[in-house]
Amino acid sequence: MDRSSGILLHISSLPSPYGIGTLGKAAYEFADFLHAAGQKYWQLLPLGPTSYGDSPYQSFSTFAGNPYFIDLDLLAEDGLLDREELAAINWGTEPRYVDYGKIYESRFAVLRKAFEKGYPRDREAVDTFRKENRWLPNYALYMAVKRRFDMKCWLDWPDEAIRLRKPEAVARYARELQEDVDFFSYLQFLFYKQWIALREYIHSLGIRIIGDLPIYVAMDSADLWAEPEFFQLGEDHVPTEVSGVPPDYFTADGQLWGNPLYDYDAMKKDGFGWWIRRVEGATRLFDVIRIDHFRGLESYWAVPYGDKTARNGRWKKGPGMDLVGVLTSWFHGIDFIAEDLGFLTPEVHKLLADSGLPGMKVLEFAFDSREPSSYLPHTYERNCVCYVGTHDNETVMQWRSKADPADITYARKYLGLNAEEGFHWGVIRGGMSSVADTFVTQMQDYLGLGAEGRMNFPGSAAGNWQWRLLPGEAPMSLAKKIRQYTRLYGRL
């Protein structure tokens, strides 16, 4: 990755009149903003359909796109929706935050109307789309059966035959739920149609897209249901252990993520074909793939299924370079970033070095006044990506208000922060001026927002993924200022 910079802003955070960001007008306008600001990268979170908790890291499919992101105005322009009907729907009353309850209540009813008008017209194109995306039939059937069983996870489906994917049950439900299967297939057709058009526009501006690949898939997912042979499952496909991270300074009980764990022995026997297909799907979305929780590929924390905390977990060996080497050699024209944050051992450092991938440096972690930190810019090598903070961290202004005063004093001295420039701009300058090949910061930090701009609180099940950019909050005057910093530090 050449010396460059980018901005992290998820699709959900874009402004729109329909309660959540989409692949429509505001996305094109933000691409124009990035171009005017001299940025090479637009970084996004995972784009999959979200489930309970609204986390993009817990998706019904590692391949599918989020139907919430389908732009309704573009569907209206295509004759599939009525604008007056859309204006009459309550999508939420606070433009700063997504009201997922309102979105869930209304979005699929609206998209159903688009399906009823558009599917007969587009049936042939959808059939071609199905053939080109081998994951789609399983995903569409999974969602149709979920709807039949009140959206319950497949583990709780009352019909054991379809829960365990008995061939006769799969065929029967596919017949009985054909309309819903077509509906969920059509939503993916619409999502990818809009996404491809947006991506082509972004590329035309010389901008590349960084996207996240969560290390795990969700328990409630078509991925686990469709290919259970690649996961650590016991009798009746019930997991034996699930994912998490061990207790640490911040969380006495650790974090119980609850994702199913991979059977890496079975995957290796298959030549890691499951991972190759998964990353191939991600390349349809992104130009650079950030591998989430990279350290879990060296060793991972396995928690007994049914435990309420992550305390009783244990470390188990991951696939290491056996998998990483397959991915980096198989895919050309795609860059990877290793999210190497968390508890790092010498073995993890060696895996990162052997992979040759750039790791991550987070400035908010750098200024511990009690001990030296490897996140201080003077310790960087070029092959890394520097962030002020990620979606899991406080905004830089919130960090200033909550961090140990001695740490803030250290940051002020180290970075030469001053009131005239502004605290957040000074920290951004510190990252921009580093030797890191790539620098990325959240849009919230360019805006100087405090706690109101935080995207995610790890370990908290509520109040996440809601923040949105307000209309007019990214003016060209701001793009011009960002461009000045970008040019000054050779990232233009």
The pair phi, psi for residue 338, each rounded to 5°, is -95, 115
Q: Which tokens sit at 12?
A: 């959900």
In 3D space, the residue among 405, 402, 386 whose CA is nearest the CA of residue 394 turns out to be: 402
Q: Report pLDDT for 459.
A: 74
Contact 175, 182 (CB under 8 A): no
CA angle, 206 then 5 then 492, to 5°: 65
Single-letter amino acid code for the residue at 219: M
In a domain? residue 128: no
The catalytic residue among 292, 298, 364, 445 is: 292
The pair phi, psi for residue 84, each rounded to 5°, is -65, -40
In a domain? residue 148: no
Please give the order of strands across the beta sheet that includes 335-338.
335-338, 288-291, 208-213, 41-43, 4-8, 438-442, 384-387, 359-362
In a domain? residue 124: no
Give, rounded to a whole angstrom, the gap between the first and last alpha carbons of the chain.
13
Q: What is the pLDDT along the chain (492 residues), one digit of tens a residue?
A: 789 999 999 999 999 999 999 999 999 999 999 999 999 999 999 999 998 889 999 999 999 999 999 999 999 999 999 999 999 999 999 999 999 999 999 999 999 999 999 999 999 999 999 999 999 999 999 999 999 999 999 999 999 999 999 999 999 999 999 999 999 999 999 999 999 999 999 999 999 999 999 999 999 999 999 999 999 999 889 999 999 999 987 788 998 999 999 999 999 999 999 999 999 999 999 999 999 999 999 999 999 999 999 999 999 999 999 999 999 999 988 999 999 998 789 999 999 999 999 999 999 999 988 888 999 999 999 999 999 999 999 999 999 999 999 999 999 999 999 999 999 999 999 999 999 999 999 999 999 999 999 999 987 777 899 999 999 999 999 999 999 999 999 999
In a domain? residue 151: no
Q: Which residues contact 467 (CB under 8 A, 6 or more apart)?
A: 13, 96, 97, 444, 452, 453, 454, 455
In 3D space, the residue among 17, 71, 340, 57 whose CA is nearest the CA of residue 191 turns out to be: 71
The catalytic residue among 263, 335, 347, 392 is: 392
In a domain? residue 417: yes
Contact 19, 190 (CB under 8 A): no
Task: Domain count for the chain, please give it.
Answer: 1
Q: Which domain holds residue 394?
A: 4-118+208-488
Query: DSSP string covering 318-361, please?
Result: --THHHHHHHHHH--S-EEEE---SS--HHHHHHHHHHT--EEE
The number of CA neighbours under 13 Å toward the Cβ of 222 is 23
In a domain? residue 232: yes
The catalytic residue among 339, 340, 437, 445 is: 339
In a domain? residue 316: yes
Q: Which tokens sit at 195?
A: 């996404």
Separation of alpha carbons 310 and 301, rounded Å: 8
Q: Which residues pair with 362 in a beta bridge?
A: 387
Quick check: is 2 catalytic?
no
pTM, entire model: 0.96
Contact 16, 29 (CB under 8 A): no
Quick check: is 339 catalytic?
yes
* Alpha helices, DSSP H, located in 38-177: 72-77, 83-87, 100-132, 136-148, 160-163, 167-176
In a domain? residue 144: no
- Residues composing the chain: 492
Q: Report pLDDT for 463.
A: 87
Task: Tokens 């977990």: give the residue.
Answer: 313
CB atoms within 10 A of CB 123: 12
Give the distance between the most distant pair of CA atoms in the chain: 71
CATH number (domain holding residue 9): 3.20.20.80
